[in-house]
């Protein structure tokens, strides 16, 4: 109830001004923006991946049909003189009519049933202290976007990941530390960072991002293996087709970012922007970028893993690196797709705690649940150490220490006074992770099973 009539009038006047500025900019910047964008057009990969729909997709497509205030010449014409900005009202009106016609043309055929042009705003490298400002603009404009976040940043700003999520934007995975040297030395390192970031986001939102954007883009970085294995694991790799240029050098001014961001004839724009530290100018440019796309009749979409991805082609400069072994692929990539498949989750209730393992995060072998030691214990608040030489792991949880030994297939409870209680257990080293029967783990750590239940939605194990 704070808004008075006066402020409403002022806001409308400001809107009129913006609408007019937008039109004049559109008139003068049209040709320039187009040729620039052609120049930066990226080599798209032919026969792009067709991703699979699943329940774990990022939030349902939040497409918004936005009105395009500046394409109504009458409204713009009346707004402009009132604002007292046009010194030559006659020519300003003529110019506006021209622009309105251009905008109408850019909107494509006037058939309202035709697919509207869509722009996907994407923000990489955050969240950071720039993110709140970006979120504020998006909220004020009623626009949704996609944030490709870094795991490292998610860990240090969980509240911003929450804010992004709660505001209805999509979250994608931009690796953990953005370090090209690490990420492009070989696929297994890239994979490690994708999973690390996925876990960080899952802990905050409960959702695993399926969209992946490669730091620096895939061009010159990904070989065919990177593309193939990520697809097989259930992810959708998304590059971009318009670069705002906001990371081309330090401190690119907002005016330049606006100019570079506009590609007002493409039917599907995936615009690269940044909300990492030092990108305040991108946040500053955002209201104008949104206004220009709205004026040209675009709607704003959020990306999801089921959409046709934009991917750069594999270049000769991205020399193929050593492909992971078949055993590594079988233990890491193949089961991962199950995370996004239709299987049931396994819920563990241990005392007052409850943790969920998604399909693909556990296995069933000879009627027994087999689980990855680290994932389960860490989610239950315990700690896991790893002894490479002995191929064994140590668990510290609820005041107990248990050692899991894959070489000798046994579990050992180490008591405070040094006594050892050992039991046979089918502990297995799969890839670089220790897996073991859930029942053995719970019993050895003092939580005997109480109940095992399977319903249409889930599998549930209760322990003391």
Kindly list the residues in this chain that would bind Zn ion in the complex (CB under 5 A). Answer: 124-125, 215
Q: Collapsing DSSP states into helix, strand and coil, what is residue 316?
A: coil
DSSP 214: -
Integer CA distances (angstroms), 136 to 74, 140, 171, 384, in order: 30, 6, 17, 41
- Is the CB of 125 or the CB of 281 nearer to Zn ion? 125
Please state, in angstroms and rounded to a whole number, the distance separating the CA atoms of residues 393 and 399: 16
d(CA 151, CA 172): 10
- Smallest gap from Cβ 222 to Zn ion, in A, equals 14
Contact present, 203 and 239 (Cβ < 8 Å): no
Q: Give 125 or 223: the residue with its C-beta nearer to Zn ion.
A: 125
The rounded Cα 416 to chain-centroid distance in angstroms is: 45
- Give Cα separations from 423 to 28, 227, 376, 413 (angstroms): 78, 43, 20, 9
The rounded radius of gyration (Å) of the Cα atoms in the chain is 27
Which of 169, 174, 221, 274 is an active site residue? 274
- Alpha-carbon distance values, 309 to 6, 84, 239, 243, 314 (Å): 47, 46, 8, 16, 15
Phi, psi of 342 (to 5 degrees): -90, 5
Whether 239 is catalytic is no
Q: Of 124, 223, 275, 304, which residue is the catalytic one?
A: 124
Q: Could you give the CA distance from residue 236 to residue 254 in angstroms, rounded to a whole number?
A: 31
- Is 177:151 a contact under the CB 8 Å cutoff? yes
Residue 336: name the closest of 367, 369, 375 by CA: 375
**Closest separation in Å from C-beta 205 to Zn ion:** 20
| Gap between the Cα atoms of 307 and 289, Å rounded | 23
Q: Which is nearer to Zn ion, 147 or 397 (CB)?
A: 147
Q: In the bound complex, which residue of the shown chain has the CB atom lying closest to Zn ion?
A: 124
Closer CB to Zn ion, 96 or 175, in the complex: 175
Least distance to Zn ion from the beta carbon of 2, Å?
39
Q: Which is nearer to Zn ion, 178 or 459 (CB)?
A: 178
Q: Which is nearer to Zn ion, 200 or 434 (CB)?
A: 200
CA distances from 226 to 212, 321, 371 (A): 11, 10, 27
Tell me if 88 sits within 8 A of 324, measured CB to CB.
no
Q: How far apart are CB 125 and Zn ion at their closest, in Å?
A: 4
Q: Which is nearer to Zn ion, 178 or 374 (CB)?
A: 178
Q: How far apart are CA 407 and CA 429, in angstroms?
A: 9
Please state the φ and ψ torsions of residue 104, each to the nearest 5 degrees.
-60, -40
Question: Residue 174 CB, nearest distance to Zn ion (Å)?
Answer: 6
Q: How far is the CB of 209 from Zn ion (least distance, A)?
A: 15
Least distance from Zn ion to the Cβ atom of residue 145, Å = 15
Q: Which residues are catalytic?
A: 124, 274
């Amino acid at each position: 109830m704070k808004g008075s009539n006066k402020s409403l009038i002022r806001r409308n006047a400001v809107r009129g001004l913006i609408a007019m500025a937008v039109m004049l900019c559109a008139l003068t910047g049209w040709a320039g923006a187009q040729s620039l964008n052609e120049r930066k057009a990226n080599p798209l990969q032919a026969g792009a991946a067709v991703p699979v729909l699943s329940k774990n997709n990022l939030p349902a497509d939040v497409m918004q049909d936005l009105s395009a205030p500046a394409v109504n010449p009458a409204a713009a014409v009346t707004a402009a003189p009132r604002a007292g900005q046009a010194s030559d009202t006659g020519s300003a009106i003529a110019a506006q009519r021209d622009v309105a016609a251009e905008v109408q043309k850019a909107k494509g055929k006037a058939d309202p049933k035709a697919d509207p042009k869509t722009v996907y705003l994407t923000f990489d490298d955050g969240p950071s202290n720039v993110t709140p400002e970006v979120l504020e603009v998006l909220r004020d404009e009623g626009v949704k976007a996609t944030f490709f976040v870094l795991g490292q940043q998610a860990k240090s700003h969980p509240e911003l990941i929450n804010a992004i999520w709660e505001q209805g934007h999509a979250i994608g995975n931009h690796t953990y530390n953005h370090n090209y040297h690490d990420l492009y030395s070989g696929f297994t390192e890239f994979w490690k960072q994708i999973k690390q970031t996925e876990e960080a986001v899952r802990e905050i939102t409960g959702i695993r991002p399926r969209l992946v954007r490669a730091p620096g883009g895939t061009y010159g970085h990904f070989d065919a293996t990177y593309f193939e294995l990520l697809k097989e694991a259930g992810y959708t790799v998304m590059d971009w087709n318009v670069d705002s240029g906001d990371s081309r050098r330090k401190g690119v001014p907002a005016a330049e970012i606006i100019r570079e961001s506009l590609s007002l004839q493409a039917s599907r724009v995936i615009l690269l922007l940044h909300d990492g530290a030092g990108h305040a100018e991108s946040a500053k440019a955002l209201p104008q970028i949104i206004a220009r796309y709205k004026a040209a009749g675009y709607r704003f979409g959020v990306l999801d893993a089921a959409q046709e991805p934009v991917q750069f082609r594999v270049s000769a400069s991205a020399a193929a690196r050593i492909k992971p072994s078949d055993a590594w692929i079988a233990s890491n990539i193949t089961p991962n797709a199950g995370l996004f498949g239709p299987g049931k989750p396994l819920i563990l209730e241990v005392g007052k705690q409850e943790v969920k393992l998604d399909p693909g995060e556990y296995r069933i072998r000879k009627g027994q649940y087999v689980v990855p030691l680290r994932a389960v214990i860490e989610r239950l608040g315990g700690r896991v150490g790893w002894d490479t030489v002995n191929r064994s792991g140590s668990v510290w949880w609820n005041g107990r220490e248990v050692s899991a030994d894959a070489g000798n297939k046994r579990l050992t409870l180490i008591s405070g006074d040094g006594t050892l209680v050992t039991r046979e257990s089918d502990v297995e080293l799969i890839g670089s992770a220790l897996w073991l029967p859930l029942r053995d783990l719970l019993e050895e750590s003092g939580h005997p099973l109480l109940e095992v239940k399977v319903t249409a939605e889930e599998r549930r194990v209760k322990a003391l």
